Amino acid sequence: MGKSLCLSLCFLVLFHGCICIAQQQQERQQNKCRISRLSAQEPSNRIQSEAGVTEIYDHNNQQLQCAGVAVVRYIIKPRGLLLPSYLNAPQLMYFIQGRGLQGIMISGCPETFQSFQESQQGVQQVGEQEEQQGGHQFSGDQHQKIREVQEGDVFVVSTGVGHFIYNNGNNRLILVSVIDISNDANQLDFQPRRFYLAGSPQNEFQQQRSPQESSGSNVFIGFNAERLAEAFNVDAQLIRKLQGQNDSRGNIVRVEGGLQAVFPQRGQEEQGSEQQEDRLHAHGNGFEEIICSLRLKQNIGEPRRADVYTPLGGRIGGITSFDLPILKGIVKLSARRAFLYKGAMLLPHYDMNAHSIIYAIRGSAKFQIVQNQGRTVFNDVVTAGRVIVVPQNFALMMKAGDSGFEFVAIKTDENGMINTLAGDLSLIRAMPVKAIASAYQISEEQAKELKFNRMEASIAPGRFRSESA
Amino acid sequence: MGKSLCLSLCFLVLFHGCICIAQQQQERQQNKCRISRLSAQEPSNRIQSEAGVTEIYDHNNQQLQCAGVAVVRYIIKPRGLLLPSYLNAPQLMYFIQGRGLQGIMISGCPETFQSFQESQQGVQQVGEQEEQQGGHQFSGDQHQKIREVQEGDVFVVSTGVGHFIYNNGNNRLILVSVIDISNDANQLDFQPRRFYLAGSPQNEFQQQRSPQESSGSNVFIGFNAERLAEAFNVDAQLIRKLQGQNDSRGNIVRVEGGLQAVFPQRGQEEQGSEQQEDRLHAHGNGFEEIICSLRLKQNIGEPRRADVYTPLGGRIGGITSFDLPILKGIVKLSARRAFLYKGAMLLPHYDMNAHSIIYAIRGSAKFQIVQNQGRTVFNDVVTAGRVIVVPQNFALMMKAGDSGFEFVAIKTDENGMINTLAGDLSLIRAMPVKAIASAYQISEEQAKELKFNRMEASIAPGRFRSESA
Amino acid sequence: MGKSLCLSLCFLVLFHGCICIAQQQQERQQNKCRISRLSAQEPSNRIQSEAGVTEIYDHNNQQLQCAGVAVVRYIIKPRGLLLPSYLNAPQLMYFIQGRGLQGIMISGCPETFQSFQESQQGVQQVGEQEEQQGGHQFSGDQHQKIREVQEGDVFVVSTGVGHFIYNNGNNRLILVSVIDISNDANQLDFQPRRFYLAGSPQNEFQQQRSPQESSGSNVFIGFNAERLAEAFNVDAQLIRKLQGQNDSRGNIVRVEGGLQAVFPQRGQEEQGSEQQEDRLHAHGNGFEEIICSLRLKQNIGEPRRADVYTPLGGRIGGITSFDLPILKGIVKLSARRAFLYKGAMLLPHYDMNAHSIIYAIRGSAKFQIVQNQGRTVFNDVVTAGRVIVVPQNFALMMKAGDSGFEFVAIKTDENGMINTLAGDLSLIRAMPVKAIASAYQISEEQAKELKFNRMEASIAPGRFRSESA
C-alpha cells in the first residue's frame, strides 16, 4: 500500500530521481516534528450517520503526526447513540455543547446500576416477563455505571476500554476527541484503530480504497456465526444482528423512545460519590489497573474553576493528573481551557514538556508561533472549529479578535507545564537585571522595563491595557 | 550497509521501479502491526549442541516483530548446562517440562550459598587443597543463590543479568523463553543480542553470513589475551580456555559427573524465604535496582492457583506484577496459562493493553482472530509447539480439540488485562438492555438473550454446554 | 541533507524509478546501535564567541546516535555569560574546570533572591530611581535562585527549562554537556534544538546551509515587533534589542563590570538548605513537577565521595537518582567519575542497563571494547578531550597510561548499573566452581584460579599488582 503509492509518486517525477518516503512517513508519527509551517486545520472528512455526524481531522497531516494524535469531532442529535467501540489508544474528550450519557464497559467491573432499586423510574420499557431467564433474582436491568456529561466536561477513556455516548438532551451534543496514538499504551502501529462492537459503521480513520472496505463492520463479523451462537448460547438469527449485517445506519444511531437506562439523578453522582472516589484514589492504592471506580471526568469550563484570571483580559483553567488521577501513568494527557476577552493577548510562552493540540471553540484570535531558530511557522487567524498543533517548546503568542476567543488545549503530558516569556511569571523576571542588560546589550534601566513593565501573569487585557499597567 | 544493500536490491529489479526499505524494516519491530494475516509458527532454526537443542522462532517474522519479541525453545538433556550469558532485553521463561537449576549472576550480589555450612553434602568433588589460595577462610565453594525450577514455573531474567540453566533431573528439561526486545530496558537496536560468557557457541539470533561468524564465540575472545591474563591474574594458557578457543560443544554442554553445586533442599527455599521476600518487596522499598533478593519465579501451572475455573470447561491461571514484583517497571511482562478441556471454548475476548504471545503446550485448538475492521486474520488449528501472536485489541476466540488444549500466553504489559465479549463478565453485560436493543436493532427480549444466556465468565464447556447454560 | 543524499543515490539508479528513504536514516538515532567500529571523537565544530568557545561533537555520528545524545563542550572566559536558552531535552553537565554561576529560570518559581536583604552587597549598579516603577516595594533587584558551580560538579537541567551560565572565577570555566535527545521528555524529533532567549547566536546543532541561517537568532525575532511591544509594554526600540538584531557577539558574551547578581555566600547554600531539600524530596511528595526547589547539582570529583577505592589503583565515584532525586523519572541519567593511577586497569565489565558516554578529562588509557559476537569494536588509546560511547552490554576494559587517566561516564539510565567480568564482585565469582570448570573445560583447580586470583573489585593496580594479589 505504502509501496504502490510510493511507486506512482515515483513515476510522476520520472527521470529526475525520486524522493519517496513511502509508508514510513505514516508509521512513525512520533518524532516527525521538523515543522517548517503549521496550519489551522478543518475536518478533512465528514461521515453522515442516522443520528449525527462524525468529522475527522486528517491524522496524516504533518502537525498531527508530530503530536502523535488523531482528532475527531462528533455531533450527536437528540436521542442519538454513538455505537459502542474501543480504541487502541487513550482518548481525552472535551464536550463543547449539550448534555449526554457516557457508558464505560470494562470486563469484571461490577454492574452497580440496578433497576430493582428504583423500579418506578427509568426502565419502564423493559418487560418483566424475562426476569426468570438465566436465573436472575432481579427484575428489570442492571449494567455498569453510566456517567452524565455536559458542556465544559473533560472525559477520558483508556486504551481498549469499551464506551458509548448517548445524547439525552434536547440540543445537539458536540464533542471533540483527541486520541493519543503515540501513547505507550498503544502497542499497535501509529494509526488510530477503532473496534466497533455493534452496527456496521464505516471506519472513520481508514481511507476508503475499495467499496467493500467503506461499508464497514464490527468485530463480530470476523467470527464464524455458528461459533458465536455457541459462545452466546443464542440462535444464529440473532448472531446475524450481532454482526451488524445489513445495517446502514452508520456509527451514530437513533434510539427509538429514548435510552431509559438505569441511572441516578444528577447531583447525587456529581458531588457525592465522585468526590469521595477522588479522595480514595488520589494517593494511589497500588491497584491502578482496577480502574472500575476511577473518576473519569472533570468540568473545566466553569469560571469558578479558573486558575488564572485577569479582570479585563480573561481566564484560564485546566486539568492535570493532580485533578484527575487516571491521567497519571494511564492516560498521560492534560488540558487547559482559556477564554480571552476582546483584544486580550495571551503573552508569549511555550510548553515545556508537551505538544499542545489547540481546538478553537468560539471566536477567533491571531496566532504567532515561532520555532527554535526564530522562524515564524504560523502567523494567521484561527477561527472556531479549527485545530492547530503547537509543538513542544515552540513559542506562541495570540491576540483575541473582536468577539473574544475560547479554546481548549490538550497537552501530550499528564502535567503539561508552560514557561512564559513576558509578564509577571516570565523567564525574564527570573533573571538578574544585570544579566538582562548584558544579554540584550541594553542599559539596566531598560532591563528593568523589560522585566517589570508587564505586570499580568499570562493574559494582557486588550484596549484597556493602559489602565492596569 | 543499508544503502549498499538497498542499491543492489534496486539493480535486481532494474527497470521496474525499486522498492527498498533497507535496514529500516528490520529495525523498527515495534509498531509493525499492520497485520493482515497471522500464522502459527514453528521454529525456523535448530541448533544442535553437545547436551541439547536450541530452537529459534524467526524473530524477523512480521508477527513477532509486531509484538517486539523473540522466542526460543531450549531442550536440555540431563546433566546439560546452558552456558552462562546475558541478553540486551528482559526475558520471561516458561518451563514446559522437567526440572533444573537456574543460576543468576549479578555483580555485587552476595555469595550467599556457601559450602562450609553443609560440607558433607554437595561439594565432594571440590578438592580441599586449594582452600588457602587467595586467603579464603572457608573450604569448598561459595557462589550466588541458585534457584530450582520445574514444570509450570515462570522465571524472569532482567536485561544484562548473567544466567545459566542446568538440568538436574532425569528427563529432558524443556523451556520456552520470550525475550522482550522492544522493552525500554533494551537501548540497543531491536535485535535480540546474546552475550555468551563461556564456550564458543553459535549465536542463535544471527543469520549466518560467513563461515567465520557461524562458529560463534564468547565476549572474552574480543579482549587481548595478555591483558585478560593480567586482569584475572592467571596465566595465558588458562585465558585461552576462558576465551573458548577450540570449543565445539555449542551452547548446551555436558557436565561430567553432574553439577554438584551448593544449594539447599527444595522446600526450604520455596516456602520459607521466597514468600517472605515477596512480602518485603511488594510494597516497594525504593531500592528496586538492588535486585539481588527479588523473587524471580512463580509456578502458574498448578490447578490450585487457577483464577478462573469452569468445571466442565477448564481453568486459567496467571501472573502479573502483583504476584511477582520484579515484573513491575523492570521486566514489564505478564503471563496467563490456560487448560481447556475437550471441546471447551475460550469465549471471544481481546487484550486491552498488550500483545499476547501464545505458546501451545499440549493438544490443539481452533483459533479465530479478528482485526479492527472485522476481517479474520487467522482461522486455523494451532497445535502443540507452535507460537502465535495475538496483537493488542484484536479479538480472539478458540475451541479446544479432542485432546483438549493447554497454552501459555505471555503479555507485553506487566499487568495484561482482558475484556471479554461474551459471557458473565463481558462488555455486553455492561450495557443497558435498551442500548443493546438499539445498537443491534433487536427487541429487548433478544437483547436480554445476548446479555444473559451465557453464564460462564471466560470458558464455555464443550459438549456438556446445555447442562450449565 | 537526507534528501540530497537520497537524490544522488537516486541518480545512480536513474530511469528505474527509485524509492529512497532519505531523512529517515537520520531521524531515528535511537536504536541505531549496529555498531561495528567505535572511535574516540574530537569536536567536529567550533564556534568562537565574544567571551568563549563552543565545541560540538558531531551528533550525527553513529555512536552518538546509538546513545541518543548530543555532546557539547563550552569554554567560557572570566566574566563570560552563556546566553539564556532552553533545550528540547534534558542535559547533564559536568564541570571540568573553573567556577561559575548557573541560573535556572522556571515560570512561577519564586524570585527568592532579593537584594533588599543585602543591599550593601552585589547590586550597586542598579539605579534606585526605578524603584517605584510598576509599584514594587523593594529597591534593587530580585530574581530566581542562582547556583554556584565548580570543578567536579554535575549539574542537571530538565527539558524546556531556561538557564544561563556565568564565569565568576579568574580562570576559564570549562564544562561538557550531554543532551539526552532520545529521552521521553523530548517529544520533538531526534535533534538537539536550542531555543535562545537573547542575542543572535548561531545555532550550534544546525548545519549551516544558507548565510542567513548561520547568522542565528533568538526566539523573539519570530514575533511581530509591535505585538511584542504590547506584550512587554515597552517601546519598539527596546524590542529590537530583545530580538537581538545586529548582535554579533555569539552565544557567550562579555559582562562589562561583571555580573553582580544577588546571591548568598558559598557554604550557606551548599551545606544548609540543599541537604535539607534533599531529605524532603528523596521520598517523593507527589509534586515532582514543582521542580523549583529540587536540588540540581552534586559534586562527584572529591576523593572522599568515592564509592570504589583501590590504594594503588585509583578511585571511582558516581551519582544516581538516589543521590539526586531529579534524575529519577525526570532527567533519567546518571554519571560515574573515575581516576585511574599510572598503569592501573579497569577490569572487564559492561553496563547492564545503559549506554556510557565517556568523556576523557585528563591523561590517557588504552581501551578495548567488545560486542556480543566477541568482535573487538575498539582497541585504541583515548586521550583527554575525546568522547567515546560504550553501547549497552558491550564489554569494556581499559588500562591507564603513564600519566594516569581521569574520565567521567554519563549513563543513559537514572541508575546505571555495571556487571564486572573479573575480580571480587564479578560474574565468575557468582558461579559454582564446578559450573566454571564445565563451562570452560578446565579443572576445578583452574576454575578456582579464575574465580579467586583477582581480589580487587573494579580496579587492578598497575605495576604494583603482585603486591596485592
Which of C227, C228, C261 lies nearest to residue A434, judging by beta carbons? C261
Q: Which amino acid is at B62?
A: Q
Alpha-carbon distances of A163 from A67, A84, C358, rounded to whole Å:
24, 5, 51
Q: Classify residue B41 by its DSSP letter.
A: B
Q: What is the pLDDT of residue C412?
A: 96
CA-based angle A359:A360:A363, to the nearest 5?
A: 175
Give the closest-approach CA distance of C167 to chain A in angstroms: 12
Quick check: C121 pLDDT over 80? no
- Residue B22's pLDDT band, with cuts at 50, 70 and 90, is very low
pLDDT at B34: 72
Of the candidate ranges A48-57, C106-115, C438-447, the one whose mean pLDDT is the lowest? C106-115
> Å from B253 to nearest chain C CA?
7
Contact C415 B289 (CB under 8 A): yes
Amino acid letter at A394? F
Instruction: Give the separation between CA B442 and CA B446, rounded to whole angstroms.
Output: 6
Distances (CA, A) of B421 to A187, A218, B230, B458, C396: 21, 12, 64, 9, 53
Rounded Cα distance, B290 and B376, in Å = 46
CA distance C49 to C103: 20
> Which of A152-156, A281-285, B171-175 is predicted least confidently?
A281-285
Return the DSSP state at C404.
E
Superfamily of domain B29-116+136-271: Jelly Rolls (2.60.120.10)
Q: Is the pLDDT of residue A119 over 70?
A: no
**Angle, in degrees to the nearest 10, between helices C444-452 and C433-440:** 110
pLDDT for position A467? 39
pLDDT > 50? residue C120: no
CA angle B219-B221-B222, nearest 5°? 75
Percentage of residues in chain A with pLDDT exceeding 90? 62
Share of chain A above pLDDT 70, in %: 78
Contact B130 C347 (CB under 8 A): no
pLDDT at B106 over 60: yes
Collect all residues of chain C within an 8 Å Cβ-Cβ radius of residue A36: none
Residue B269 pLDDT > 80: no
How far from the centroid of its chain's Cα atoms is residue C12's Cα? 41
Please tell me the distance from the alpha carbon of residue C321 to that of residue C282, in angstroms, as a whole number: 9
The 10s digit of each residue's pLDDT in B186-207 is 999 888 999 999 999 988 887 5
| Torsion sign over Cα A176, A182, A183, A189 | positive
pLDDT-wise least confident of A422-426, C85-89, C205-209, C311-315 = C205-209
- Give the C-alpha separation, B190 to A108, whole Å: 36
User: ipTM value of the model?
Assistant: 0.84
The rounded mean pLDDT for chain C is: 81
The pLDDT assigned to B347 comes to 96
Nearest residue on chain A to C6, alpha-carbon basis = A19
What pLDDT is attached to residue A144?
A: 86
Q: Starting from the edge strand earliest in sequence, which strands make up the sheet with C297-299, in order? A: C45-49, C52-57, C70-76, C173-179, C91-97, C153-157, C297-299
Mean pLDDT of A186-192: 90
pLDDT at position C9 = 32
Specify the amino acid at residue A297: K
Query: Are the CB atoms for B281 and B294 separated by under 8 Å?
Result: yes
Cβ-nearest to B164 among C374, C393, C435: C435
- Residues B223, C368: C-beta atoms closer than 8 Å: yes
- pLDDT tens, residue by residue, A237-291: 999 999 999 899 999 999 999 987 665 554 444 444 444 444 333 333 334 345 6
Is the pLDDT at C261 greater than 80? The verdict is no
**Which of the residue ranges A56-60, A171-175, B384-388, C129-133 would you say has the lowest mean pLDDT?**
C129-133
pLDDT at position C294 is 83
Q: Range with the lowest mean pLDDT among B426-440, C71-85, C272-286?
A: C272-286
pLDDT of residue A307: 87
Query: Average model confidence (pLDDT) for chain A?
Result: 81
CA B64 to chain centre: 13
Chain C residue numbers with beta carbons less than 8 Å from the beta carbon of B259 are 432, 434-435, 438
How far is the C-alpha of A35 from the C-alpha of A38, rounded, in Å? 7
Structure-model confidence comparison of residues C304 and A265, the more confident one: C304
Rounded to the nearest angstrom, the minimum Cα separation between C239 and chain A is 9
Query: Are A378 and A366 within 8 A, CB to CB?
Result: no
pLDDT band at C202 (very low <50, low <70, confident <90, very high): confident
Task: Locate the domains of chain B by residue range.
Answer: 29-116+136-271, 302-468
Q: What is the least distance, in Å, from the CA of B196 to any CA of chain C?
A: 7
CATH classification (class only), B302-468: mainly beta
Q: Which residues on C lie below 8 Å from A24 (Cβ)?
A: 21, 24
* CA atoms lying within 13 Å on the CB side of residue B302: 6
Count how many pairs of residues, chain B against chain C, have C-beta atoms within 8 Å. 272
The average confidence (pLDDT) of chain B is 81
Predicted confidence band of residue C173 (pLDDT cuts 50, 70, 90): very high
Percent of chain B whose pLDDT exceeds 70: 78
Mean pLDDT along residues B322-336? 92
Residue A28 has pLDDT above 80, yes or no: no
- Bigger pLDDT: B458 or C139? B458
**C227-260 pLDDT, tens per residue?**
999 999 999 999 999 999 989 999 999 999 998 7
> Out of C6, C27, C261, whose CB is closest to A435?
C261
The DSSP annotation for A303-332 comes to GGG-SEEETTTEEEEEE-TTTSGGGTTTT-
Chain B nearest CA to C159, separation (Å): 20
CA distance A447 to C259: 14
CATH topology of domain C35-111+136-271: Jelly Rolls (2.60.120)
pLDDT at B121: 39
The count of C-alpha atoms lying within 13 angstroms of the C-alpha of B248, restricted to the half-sphere facing its C-beta, is 1
Given this model, what pLDDT does residue A115 score? 61
Task: Give, in words, the CATH class of A300-468.
Answer: mainly beta
Give phi and psi for C212, each to the nearest 5.
-60, -40
Number of CB pairs, chain A paired with chain C, less than 8 A apart: 281
CA A189 to chain CA mean position, Å: 20
- The mean pLDDT value for A116-144 works out to 46
Mutation site for C-interface testing, chosen from B109, B232, B234 by largest number of C Cβ within 10 Å: B232
Residue C122 has pLDDT above 90, yes or no: no
Rounded to an integer, the average pLDDT of C446-467 is 82
pLDDT tier at A32, thresholds 50, 70, 90? low
Residue A211 clears pLDDT 80, i.e. is over it? no
Q: What is the three-class DSSP state of A273?
A: helix
8 Å CB contact of C143 and A68:
no
Q: Which residues of B touch C429 (CB under 8 A)?
A: 111, 143
Q: With bands split at pLDDT 50, 70 and 90, how would you rate the model's confidence at B264?
A: low
Identify the band that residue A114 occupies on the pLDDT scale cut at 50, 70 and 90.
low
B229: amino acid identity, one letter: A
Average pLDDT over residues C140-169: 93
Average pLDDT over residues C124-128: 36
Q: Which pLDDT belongs to residue A331?
A: 92
Taking the C-alpha atoms of residue A421 and residue A352, their distance in angstroms, rounded to an integer, is 12
Q: Please give the share of chain C, as a percent, with pLDDT higher than 90.
A: 62
Residue given cell 461474551 in the structure block = B422
pLDDT of residue A319: 93
Residue A225's pLDDT is: 95
Give yes or no for residue B334 having a pLDDT over 90.
yes
Taking only the tens place, the pLDDT of each residue in C203-231 is 888 754 444 445 678 999 999 999 999 99
Q: What pLDDT, on a 0 to 100 scale, did the predictor assign at position A215?
A: 62
- Superfamily of chain region A28-114+137-272: Jelly Rolls (2.60.120.10)
Is the pLDDT confidence value at A389 over 50? yes
Chain A residues in contact with B283 by the CB 8 A cut-off are: 286
| Gap between the Cα atoms of C206 and A130, Å rounded | 72
Strand order in the sheet with B153-157: B45-49, B52-57, B70-76, B173-179, B91-97, B153-157, B297-299
C216's CB contacts (< 8 A; 6+ apart) are A373, A374, C196, C200, C201, C202, C203
> For B121-171, what is each residue's pLDDT tens digit?
334 333 333 333 333 334 578 888 889 999 999 999 999 999 999 999 999
Q: Do B222 and C368 touch (CB under 8 A)?
A: yes
The domain made up of C303-468 has a fold known as Jelly Rolls (2.60.120)
- B neighbours by CB contacts (3+ pairs under 8 Å): A, C
Most confidently modeled of A71-85, A96-110, A261-275, B207-221? A71-85
